[in-house]
Amino acid sequence: MLEVRGLTKVFPNGTEAVKDLSVTIPDGQFVVVIGLSGSGKSTFLRCINRLVEPTSGQVLLDGEDVTAASGDRLRQIRTQIGMIFQQFNLIKRESVLTNVLTGALGTSTYGSSLLSRWPKDEVERAMFNLDRVGIGEKAQQRADTLSGGQQQRVAIARTLMQRPRLLLADEPVASLDPATSHSVMRYVEQINKEDGITVICNLHFLSLARRYATRVLALRAGELVADLAPEAIDPQKFREIYGEDAVEVEVR
Amino acid sequence: MARANSLPLRRPPSMELPRSAARRWRLILVLTALLVAHVIGWRVTNINVPQLVFGLPNMRHIVTSLLQPDAFERSKDVIAVESLVGVLAPGTVAPAGSARRVQEPGSPQLTIVPASAAPGEIVNLQGAGWPAGKQAEAFLSQSTGGIPRSAGTFQVTSDGSVNYAFYVPEWAPNTYGIAVSVTTPQLGFRPTQTLLLCLRLMVETLFLALMGTSLALIFTLPLSFLGARNLMGRSKVGRTVYYLTRTLFNLLRSIEVVIVVTIMAVVVGIGSFAGVLAIVVHSIGALGKLYSEAIEEIDPGPIEAIAATGARPLQVIRYAVIPQVIPQFLSFTLYRLDINVRMSTIVGLVGGGGIGFILTQYINLLQWNQAGTAIWLIALVVTSIDYLSAWMREKIV
- Name the closest residue on chain B to residue A164, using Cα atoms: B309
Q: How long a stretch of residues is chain B?
A: 397
Of B304, B319, B323, the CB nearest to A51: B304
Cβ separation A103–B326 shorter than 8 A: no
Chain B hits for A110, Cβ within 8 Å: 312, 314-315
Are the C-beta atoms of residues A251 and A208 closer than 8 Å to each other?
yes
Tell me B99's DSSP state: B
Least confident segment among A146-150, B143-147, B343-347 = B143-147
Determine whether the interchain pair A91/B312 forms a contact, defined as Cβ–Cβ distance below 8 Å: no
- Given an 8 Å threshold on Cβ–Cβ distance, is B310 in contact with A87? no
Residue B3 pLDDT grade (very low, low, confident, very high; cuts 50, 70, 90): very low
Number of CB atoms found within 10 A of residue A238's CB: 18
For residue A94, the number of C-alpha atoms closer than 13 Å in the C-beta half-sphere is 22
Q: Among A79, A83, A102, which Cα is nearest to A92's?
A: A102
d(CA B141, CA B145): 7
Question: What does the alpha-carbon distance between residue B285 and residue B280 come to, in Å, rounded to a whole number?
Answer: 9
- Asked whether the beta carbons of A217 and A224 are under 8 A apart, the reply is yes
CB B353 within 8 A of CB B269: no
Most confident of A96-100, A116-120, B112-116: A96-100
Report pLDDT for B186.
78
Q: Which residue of A has its CA nearest to B321?
A: A91
Q: What are the tens digits of pLDDT across the range A157-198?
A: 999 999 999 999 999 999 899 889 999 999 999 999 999 999
**Cα distance between residue B383 and residue B78, in whole Å:** 37
Contacts of B307 in chain A (CB under 8 A): 51, 78
pLDDT at A13 over 50: yes
Residue B190 half-sphere exposure, CB side, CA atoms within 13 Å?
A: 8
Confidence band, pLDDT 50/70/90 cuts, at residue B2 = very low
First-to-last alpha carbon distance for chain A, in angstroms, is: 32
Predicted pLDDT at B74: 80
- Cβ within 8 Å, pair A90-B310: no
A249 shares contact with chain B (CB less than 8 Å): yes
Contact list in B for residue A129 (CB cut-off 8 A) is none
Residues 6+ apart with CB under 8 A from B109: B81, B100, B103, B127, B128, B129
Among B4, B302, B310, beta carbon nearest to A245: B4
Amino acid at B55: G
Pick from B5, B309, B326, B329 the residue to mutate for testing the A interface (most A CBs within 10 Å): B309
d(CA B223, CA B241): 10
Give B339→chain A minimum CA distance, Å: 29
Contact A77 B5 (CB under 8 A): no
What integer pLDDT is reported at residue B190 of this predicted model? 85
User: Between chains, do B310 and A75 touch, taking CB under 8 Å as contact?
Assistant: yes
Taken in order B122, B126, B132, B134, the sign of the CA dihedral is negative
User: Which strand ranges, in their side-by-side order, compose the sheet holding A56-61?
Assistant: A16-25, A2-10, A56-61, A64-65
The pLDDT > 90 percentage for chain A reads 76
Q: What is the pLDDT of residue B6?
A: 47
- Residue A197 and residue A84 in contact, taking contact as beta carbons nearer than 8 Å: no
Cβ–Cβ gap A105/B320 under 8 Å: no
The stretch A4-23 carries a mean pLDDT of: 93
**At a CB cut-off of 8 Å and minimum separation 6, what does B386 contact?**
B338
Mean pLDDT of all residues in B51-73: 88
Angle at B275 between CA B271 and CA B281, to 5 degrees: 150
Residue of B nearest to A104 (CA): B309
Q: Give me the amino acid identity at B24.
A: R
Nearest CB to A247 within list B1, B307, B309: B1
Write down the pLDDT at residue B247.
Answer: 95
Residues 81-140 of A with CB under 8 A from B: 81-83, 85, 87-94, 98, 102-107, 110, 113-114, 116
Are A77 and B312 in contact (CB < 8 Å)? no
Taking CA atoms, what residue in A is nearest to B305?
A: A89
Q: Under an 8 A CB cutoff, do A36 and B3 touch?
A: yes
Span B218-241, average pLDDT: 89
pLDDT, average across residues B170-175: 82
Contacts of B309 in chain A (CB under 8 A): 78-79, 82-83, 102-106, 158-159, 161-162
pLDDT computed for residue A160 by the predictor: 95
pLDDT-wise least confident of A17-21, A191-195, B192-196: B192-196
- Chain A interface test: which of B1, B7, B326 (most A C-beta within 10 Å): B1
In whole angstroms, give the CA distance from residue B96 to residue B166: 18
Range among A207-216, B14-23, B347-356 with highest mean pLDDT value: A207-216
Cβ neighbours of B312 in A, within 8 Å? 75, 105-106, 110
Work out the number of other CB atoms within 10 angstroms of the CB of residue B187: 6
Q: Which residues of B touch A171 (CB under 8 A)?
A: none
Task: Enumerate the residues of chain A whose CB falls inside 8 A of the CB of residue B1.
Answer: 36, 204, 242, 246-249
Predicted local confidence at residue B1, as pLDDT = 41
Question: What pLDDT does residue B10 have?
Answer: 55
| Residue A142: Cβ-neighbour burial (10 angstroms; 0-12, 13-18, 19+) | middle
DSSP 8-state class, residue B169: P
Q: What is the pLDDT of residue B4?
A: 45
Q: What are the chain B neighbours of A89 within 8 Å (beta carbons)?
A: 299, 301-302, 304-305
Give the mean model confidence (pLDDT) for residues B6-27.
67
Question: Per-residue pLDDT averaged across A12-37, rounded?
Answer: 93
Alpha-carbon gap, residue B156 to B79, rounded angstroms: 13
